[in-house]
Amino acid sequence: MFWGLSLSSRADSNNGDRFPTSTPPLNDIQVENRVPVPMRDGTILYADIFRPVNEGRYPVLVCRTPYGVEGRAEPAFFSKRGYVFLIQDVRGRYESEGRWDPFRNEANDGYDTVEWAAKQPWSNGKIGMQGKSYLGLVQWQAAKTRPPHLITIFPDVASVSPYHSFVTLNGAWRLSFNFGWGAVRQESRIGQNTVLHKKGGGSQNLSYNQVIWHLPLLDMQRLLGRQAQFYTEWIQHPDYDDYWKVLDVTKHFSKITIPVHTLGGWFDIFTQGTIDGYLGMSQTGGSLKARQGSQITIGPWGHGPTRSFGDLAFGDTAMVDVLAIQLQWFNYWLKDLPGLNTELAARIFVMGKNKWRFEKKYPLANTEYRKLYLHSKGEANSARGNGKLSWNIPNSNSKPDHYRYDPNNPVKSLGGNNCCGVPTRAGPVDQQSIEQRHDVLVYTSDFLQESLEVTGPIKLKLYASSSSTETDFVAKLIDVYPDGTAINVAEGLLRTRYRKSLDQPKKLNPGKIYELMIDLVDTSNLFLKGHRIRLDVTSSHFPQFNRNLNTGEAFGLHQKPQVANQTIYHSNTYPSHFILPIIPSD
C-alpha cells in the first residue's frame, strides 16, 4: 500500500530542463565476442566489444562485471551513440580466467583494462568507466591507480570502501546481504521462502530464514555445503584492519584527478558510499577539475531509480533516465560536447515535498544544524510510552529509560537501507508494528505547526549504559503522518566496540555511562505541517545486521547469547539529542 499526502505532487516546471532525455541513435554497430585482454600477471580476462560500424577512433567506455556480459542494455545504447563499449567479465567470473576474490584484483585489473583499451586501433585514447553496484565499485578501485588514459568515471549506486558501506555499515556486520550475496548468491539466487538443499548428498532442507539464525556465524555457510573463502575471511576480519584498508578509496581521493559523477538513492545499501564519494572528490580531489567537476544525483530510491519504493509513491518526477544522464556526462568529458550544467553539482530529491533540489554543492550551503532533545518520564518504551522530542534541553531530574535486549528475540528489520534480493524489506516502510515492542524506545515531537526540511548528514548523540561489555544501539529517524503512519527516513547503528575507532575495538565497562555518537545515513525529507518527528532507539536490526550477542567474545565464533539491560539518559547533565540539518524555508 502507498501512503502519504501530496505524494503525487509535481516537481518544479523546469525539472525537465535539469535532467536530460536520451538522444536518438547515431550509427549502427558491430560486436566482437570473447576478446582476450591480458593482465600484467598473464591472466586473460575476456570482453565483448561493441563499436560503431564505421571504422575510426572513438572514446571508449569500460564496464567490468562479475554478473556476466549477456543481456545488458548499456553496450548497445552507448555504442549506437558514438562510443566503443567494452564489457568484461572480472577475474574468475564467467569467461575470464583466474580466481574470483571480490574487490581484491579490481584495482590492477581495472588499470590494465583501461590502458589496453586506450592502445587499440578503434580507440582515440579517451576512456571512461560505467556501471552500477559492484560495477561501480570497480571504477573507484581503478581510479585510485590513476590510469593515464582514464578521463572520468560514473559509479552508480556504489561503494568507495567495501568495509564501511558494503560488508559493514561502519563496523556493524550486514548479515543478510553478506550471506545472501556473498555465501549464496554467487552460486544461486534465492528468496525468503526458497528451500536450500544441503550439498554433498545431505537430506536436510533449510529455508533462508532458518539458516540466518545459525550460530556461530563462521559455520553458517557450511550448513549448505558451501565454502566461499572470501566470506570466511570477511568474518575473520570484523575490524577495519589492513585486510580492508587496502581497498579503501577514501584514502586516495587526493590522488584522483578526474571528475566523478556519483548517483544513488536515499534507501540504497550504498547511500553513504555514494555521498562519501562525492564529498571526497568535491572537497579533496587531486585537481581543480576533479573538485569543481564532480557531481552527485540522489533520489528517493533503493538500488536504482523508481517512482515508488517501500510504502511510498513519489510521483513521476522521481524517475530519471540514468543512461541519458550518463550520456550527457560522457559527451561533455569525452567528446567536449556542451549540455552539462557544471554550476549545479548536486541534484537532491526532497521527500515529502517530492521535488528535486538543484544546488551548487551538498550539504547545502544554508544548512542550519539544530539540536532536538530526548525527553520522557522514564517510560518511553513503545509508541504507547511517554517519550518526547523537544528543541528544549531536558531538566536535571529527567528519568532515564530502560529496556531489555534479548538476542534470542531481536527486533526485526523493517525497511531501511538494503538491496539485492535478500529477504528483508528495504525502503520507507511503516514502523508501527515494531513500535509496539517494549524493547523499542519511541520519542515523538509535537505536531509541527510549520513544515520543516531536513536535508544532509544526521547524528544522534546518545548517553547510554549497558549491563554488557559489548552491545548495539540502533536509531531511526521517523516521519509520523497525521493518521499515525510512521515512515522511516534515515537509520544508523553503533556497535559499541567501535565507539572510538573502527580499527581498535574496545569493550564497555558495564554500568558506566558513555557518550555515544551514532551516524545515521543521510537523508532529505520535508516533515510536513501536521506531521511529527520521531526517534526510535533499540539494540537490534535483524537479519539485516547480525545480532550482537552481548558477550564481547571474538566475532563470528560465539554462539551463546546473553541479555543486555540498556539505559538511555536524557537530562541536563546527559542531554541526548539529534543533530538535524535544517534547511530554512524559502
Q: How many domains does the chain have?
A: 3
pLDDT, residue 205, reads 65
Domain of residue 433 covers 368-583
pLDDT, residue 388, reads 98
In a domain, 414, yes or no: yes
- Over residues 384-410, the mean pLDDT reads 96
Does pLDDT of 14 surpass 90? no
Does pLDDT of 107 surpass 50? yes
**What three-state secondary structure class fits 516?**
strand
pLDDT, residue 444, reads 98
The residue out of 242, 262, 295 marking a domain boundary is 242
DSSP 300: S
Which pTM does this prediction carry? 0.93
CA–CA gap between residue 238 and residue 334 (Å, rounded): 41
In a domain, 10, yes or no: no
Q: Cite the active site residues.
A: 133, 268, 303
237 and 251 co-located in one domain: no
Does pLDDT of 334 surpass 70? yes
324 and 469 co-located in one domain: no
**What three-state secondary structure class fits 440?**
coil
Q: What is the CATH number of the domain that holds 535?
A: 2.60.120.260
252 and 129 co-located in one domain: yes
pLDDT, residue 546, reads 96
Candidate from 418-432, 438-452, 558-572 with smallest mean pLDDT:
418-432
Cα–Cα distances in angstroms (integers) from residue 60 to residues 85, 126, 335, in the given order: 6, 6, 11
The residue out of 242, 263, 286 marking a domain boundary is 242
255 and 181 co-located in one domain: no
Cα–Cα distances in angstroms (integers) from residue 355 to residues 311, 321, 525, in the given order: 18, 16, 10
pLDDT, residue 423, reads 66
Does pLDDT of 5 surpass 60? no
The count of residues in the chain is: 586
**What three-state secondary structure class fits 211?**
helix
In a domain, 3, yes or no: no
Does pLDDT of 73 surpass 50? yes
Percentage with pLDDT > 90 across the chain? 84
Does pLDDT of 12 surpass 50? no
Phi, psi of 269 (to 5 degrees): -65, -25
408 and 511 co-located in one domain: yes
pLDDT, residue 44, reads 98
| pLDDT tens digit sequence for 475-510 | 999 999 999 999 999 999 999 999 999 999 999 999
Beta bridge partners of 533: 479
DSSP string, 70-113: TT-SHHHHHHTTT-EEEEEEPTTSTT--S---TTTTHHHHHHHH
CA–CA gap between residue 373 and residue 357 (Å, rounded): 28
| pLDDT tens digit sequence for 20-70 | 998 999 999 999 999 999 999 999 999 999 999 999 999 999 999 999 999
| pLDDT tens digit sequence for 459-474 | 999 999 999 999 999 9
pLDDT, residue 111, reads 98
Assigned C-alpha cell, 4: 502519504
286 phi-psi bin (left φ>0, alpha ψ -120 to 50, beta other): alpha
CA–CA gap between residue 141 and residue 446 (Å, rounded): 47
- Over residues 273-281, the mean pLDDT reads 97
CA–CA gap between residue 214 and residue 192 (Å, rounded): 15
Note the Cα 390 to chain centre separation in Å: 30
- Over residues 138-156, the mean pLDDT reads 98
DSSP string, 519-541: EEEEEEEEE-TT-EEEEEEES--
CB 347 within 8 A of CB 356: yes
Binning pLDDT at 50, 70 and 90, where does residue 449 land? very high
- Residue whose grid cell is 585482454: 37
- Over residues 428-446, the mean pLDDT reads 98
In a domain, 4, yes or no: no
- Over residues 176-190, the mean pLDDT reads 66
- Over residues 131-150, the mean pLDDT reads 98
420 and 310 co-located in one domain: no
| Residue 408 CB-density burial (10 A; 0-12 exposed, 13-18 middle, 19+ buried) | exposed
Cα–Cα distances in angstroms (integers) from residue 535 to residues 474, 496, 580, in the given order: 10, 19, 12
Beta bridge partners of 44: 38
CB 75 within 8 A of CB 140: no
175 and 298 co-located in one domain: no
